[in-house]
Amino acid sequence: MKICILYTALISLLLAHGSAVAATSPYSSTSSSTSTTTKSTTKPATTKTTKPSKPAVKPPPPPPPPPPEEPFFSNLSYGIAFISQSVDVTNTSGTLSSTNSETGSGIGLYADKFYKGKYRFNGTFSYISYDNFAITSFTAGADYLMPINSSLALFGGVAAGVAGQKYTDSSFSDMSMAPVYGAQLGGIMFMSDSLMLELGYRLRFTNLETEITTIPASIDTVDQLDEAYLSLIISF
């Protein structure tokens, strides 16, 4: 009986000592720490980490204001031209005909309007004097400008209107009139904000027929006008 009691007490003492050893064992703490670490590391870090935000895209800067318009592109421009013109006059009398070349000179008056710096609309009145007659014309035209630099531009365009021919000899009919149309090309030099120099060439087609009442009667016909001109245009 005493032996049983002693044996029971010894077993109880061993169990109590084993529990104390297990509580203070480094493996137990390591295992616990490892378990804790494992639990903490198993949580996705990315769920708590905020992704770096992309830098805000700045809106593009507003476009610069357009440059102020020069007078040539905002106002009407007026000018005068010095014109050298040549024509072929065909004289027809019955079944006979002959052609003579004539050269005359005169002036032209202009009113121009530029649009968007690339287009020009104009009205032109010209008077050309020859030895025996004079040719007047009024045309409206449009040109397309091709800038070379800030002060020089080339242009080409078309025009249409009406032309008249009057002989100085009173024995001829007073005047003949006919439609006129054609094309022009040239160059423009901007001398200043209000002064422009223009050099160009015009080719015009028409059908001016003047009846000559002398005996024998005949008809003079002009069907083409070739002219070179130099003009000075001013904007106010």
Integer angstrom CA distances of residue 228 from 127, 128, 147, 160, 182: 14, 12, 21, 17, 14
What DSSP state is assigned to residue 46? G
Cβ proximity of 176 and 164 under 8 Å: yes
Span 187-209, pLDDT tens digits: 999 998 889 999 999 999 999 88
Q: CA-to-CA distance for 43 and 54, rounded, in angstroms? A: 26
pLDDT at residue 176, rounded to an integer: 87
Kindly list the domain boundaries of the chain, sorted by start residue.
71-235
Contacts of 45 (CB under 8 A, 6+ apart): none
Cβ proximity of 196 and 120 under 8 Å: no
**Residue 7: Cβ within 10 Å count:** 10
Q: Is the bond into 61 cis (omega within 30 degrees of 0)?
A: no
Span 82-124, pLDDT tens digits: 999 999 888 887 777 788 889 999 999 999 998 888 899 999 9
Q: How confident is the model at residue 22 (pLDDT cuts 50, 70, 90)?
A: very low
> Which residue has better confidence, 207 or 64?
207
Q: CA-to-CA distance for 196 and 222, rounded, in angstroms? A: 33
Q: What's the whole-number average pLDDT of the chain?
A: 79
Mark 165-193 as b/e (b = at least 16 C-beta within 10 Å): bebeeeebbeebebebbbebebebebeee
Fold of 71-235: Porin (2.40.160)
Cβ proximity of 157 and 183 under 8 Å: yes
Contacts of 141 (CB under 8 A, 6+ apart): 121, 122, 123, 124, 157, 158, 159, 160, 184
Share of the chain above pLDDT 70, in %: 68
pTM (predicted TM-score): 0.65
